[in-house]
């Protein structure tokens, strides 16, 4: 049986504004990405995922879309996108693009019509008097409702510039089916669906006690959403070349996650339980067991554009261990059945940038919380390509990037790490190359081995993966040879905060 490309793929997330700037305005763009495609091929990934590049006023970094069928001039042109797809395919890279169906920009023509009192049924407008219609809160802080001039209120689960669509209106359904076809016709290989569990809200929009992302409530996870993805799956299946969709689904139960990846719905859904797990063999094993038992096609992810980079998360748990743990977690993740999603810059070992000044911050989370929440800018700082220069090679010449980079980025740049056998970049290249040689010969299952305290050992066919989360070295299980390790091994011992791949005897 042929294995679909996405089942075991390594997908590299590109936060477009922060990857590579070719135009010289300090903001990443599509031509900049196109220039760096050979780097991604040589890194060993199978596909790239592009965050939104559509026409947008950038109230939320492009996740506020004003035109779903065009490229914002900040990022290039539609021709630039088509050239990017063509070049990627020539290099053997698939292209996945973000789609944002929960909400649009308040500059979208439909919402402008709604503000004039026309066709408001395409959004969620309600009467509310002097108070909002219910107690729902924006995930960015503050009320989820904004009042317009005629006294009605509109719902925005994110920024006020991101009004939520009313998915009970047939025109919304038809619009997004057409948007899917527009980009599929231009060669995209798949879609990452933003807020995939959020399209429908419960009838009557009742007050809630728990509005957290992971809770199925009147706000999230309504059952009607599954029919949307059944329709989308039919569209995807009508195109050649195994087009796919992966959902951003936040949930606290693997059983709920599995509902989105039934055979006639999405192909994959992000497994945020792995990202949220603490540095613990017990926690890791629990996530792996629950995922493998319930989700048909697993995904694994450690960082993305919305969370603190995992090097820094692990370092916060135990200062000084972050990079070692990040590399060990990566090696463990790559040994698991399923696909893995990487976030740009993690292959360089980039940490979260915590000390951004208030005047530099741009995330609406920071502003809506009146500075109480730092927001997500710290993981979105443009990545360094060269050891020197005004932007470490992110932009040409003396151009400064849209978010300031710390001086330490120079020694973490791709240029500084290339060819250095002990660097994080070369470790990633070796790990991805080794995995590619292995993955198609491995069963889509794993077996646990008896593990010493603080450690996690499992096998997949001829491969044994060992991880030591403890404070003391542990003895390795029997093996013929070491394929790869995240750090030096001490004879027959596995040091703390280290992982290794072994050939079984």
The catalytic site residues sit at 194, 248
Tokens of 422: 């002990």
Instruction: Identify the CA nearest to 299 among candidates 41, 11, 3.
Output: 11
Per-residue HEC secondary structure of 464-491 comes to EEEEECCCCCEECCCCCEEEEECCCCEC
- Alpha-carbon distance of 448 to 458, in angstroms, equals 4
- Alpha-carbon distance of 338 to 9, in angstroms, equals 8
Alpha-carbon separation of residue 360 from 28, 395, 402 (angstroms): 17, 18, 8
Instruction: Identify the CA nearest to 249 among candidates 235, 260, 262.
Output: 260
Neighbours of 484 (CB within 10 A): 17
Q: Would the CA dihedral through 13, 158, 401, 358 be positive or negative?
A: negative
Residue with tokens 């613990």: 280
Per-residue HEC secondary structure of 302-364 comes to CCCCCCCCHHHHHHHHCCCCHHHHHHHHHHHHHHCCCEEEEECCHHHCCCCCCCCCHHHCCCH
Instruction: Identify the CA nearest to 173 among candidates 199, 197, 209, 192.
Output: 199
Question: What's the full length of the chain, in residues?
Answer: 505
Task: Encode 118-142: b = buried (16+ Cβ within 10 Å), e = exposed.
Answer: eebebbbbeeeeeebbbebbbbbbb
**Contact (Cβ atoms closer than 8 angstroms) between residue 187 and residue 130:** no
- Alpha-carbon distance of 438 to 172, in angstroms, equals 44
Alpha-carbon separation of residue 6 from 202, 246, 259, 297, 342 (angstroms): 33, 10, 19, 9, 14
**Contact (Cβ atoms closer than 8 angstroms) between residue 301 and residue 274:** yes
Alpha-carbon separation of residue 67 from 63, 99, 102, 104, 463 (angstroms): 11, 12, 14, 9, 48
User: Which residues are registered as beta bridge partners of 339?
Assistant: 299
Q: Give kind and range of the element (H or E) at residue 40.
A: helix 30-43
* C-alpha triplet 440, 277, 296: angle, nearest 5°: 40
The DSSP letter of residue 400 is P
């Amino acid at each position: 049986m042929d294995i679909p490309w996405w089942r075991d793929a390594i997908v590299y997330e590109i936060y477009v504004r922060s990857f590579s700037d070719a135009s010289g305005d300090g903001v990443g763009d599509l031509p900049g990405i196109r220039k760096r495609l050979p780097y991604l091929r040589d890194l060993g990934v199978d596909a790239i995922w592009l965050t939104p590049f559509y026409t947008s006023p950038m109230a939320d970094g492009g996740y506020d879309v004003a035109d779903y069928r065009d490229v914002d001039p900040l990022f290039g042109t539609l021709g630039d996108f088509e050239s990017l797809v063509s070049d990627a395919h020539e290099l053997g890279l698939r292209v996945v693009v973000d789609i944002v169906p929960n909400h649009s920009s308040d500059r979208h023509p439909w919402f402008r019509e709604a503000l004039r009192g026309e066709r408001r049924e395409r959004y969620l407008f309600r009467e509310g008097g002097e108070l909002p219609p219910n107690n729902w809160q924006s995930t960015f802080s503050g009320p989820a409702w904004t009042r317009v001039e005629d006294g009605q209120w509109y719902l925005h689960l994110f920024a006020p510039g991101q009004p939520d669509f009313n998915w009970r209106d047939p025109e919304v359904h038809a619009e997004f089916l057409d948007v899917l076809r527009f980009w599929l016709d231009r060669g995209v290989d798949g879609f990452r669906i933003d807020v995939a569990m959020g399209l429908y809200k419960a009838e009557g929009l009742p007050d809630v006690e728990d509005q957290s992302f992971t809770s199925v409530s009147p706000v999230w996870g309504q059952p009607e959403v599954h029919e949307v993805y059944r329709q989308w799956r039919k569209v995807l299946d009508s195109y050649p070349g195994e087009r796919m969709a992966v959902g951003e689904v936040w949930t606290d139960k693997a059983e709920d996650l599995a509902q989105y990846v039934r055979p006639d719905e999405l192909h994959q859904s992000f497994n945020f339980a792995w990202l949220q797990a603490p540095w613990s063999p017990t926690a890791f094993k629990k996530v792996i067991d629950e995922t493998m038992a319930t989700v048909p096609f697993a995904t694994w992810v450690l960082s993305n554009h919305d969370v603190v980079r995992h090097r820094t998360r692990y370092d916060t748990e135990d200062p000084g261990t972050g990079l070692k743990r990040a590399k060990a977690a990566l090696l463990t993740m790559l040994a698991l059945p399923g696909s893995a999603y990487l976030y740009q810059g993690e292959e360089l070992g980039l940490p979260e940038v915590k000390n951004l000044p208030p005047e530099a911050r741009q995330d609406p989370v920071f502003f809506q919380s009146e500075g109480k929440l730092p927001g997500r800018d710290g993981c979105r700082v443009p990545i360094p390509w060269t050891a020197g220069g005004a932007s470490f090679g992110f932009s040409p010449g003396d151009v400064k990037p849209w978010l300031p980079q710390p001086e330490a980025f120079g020694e973490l740049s791709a240029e500084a790490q290339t060819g250095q056998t002990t660097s994080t970049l070369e470790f990633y290249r070796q790990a991805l190359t080794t995995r590619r040689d292995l993955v198609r010969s491995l069963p889509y299952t794993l077996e646990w081995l008896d593990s010493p305290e603080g450690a996690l050992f499992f096998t997949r066919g001829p491969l044994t993966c060992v991880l030591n989360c403890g404070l003391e070295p542990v003895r390795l299980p029997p093996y013929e040879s070491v394929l790869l390790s995240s750090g030096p091994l001490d004879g027959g011992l596995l040091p703390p905060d280290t992982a290794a791949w072994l050939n079984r005897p």
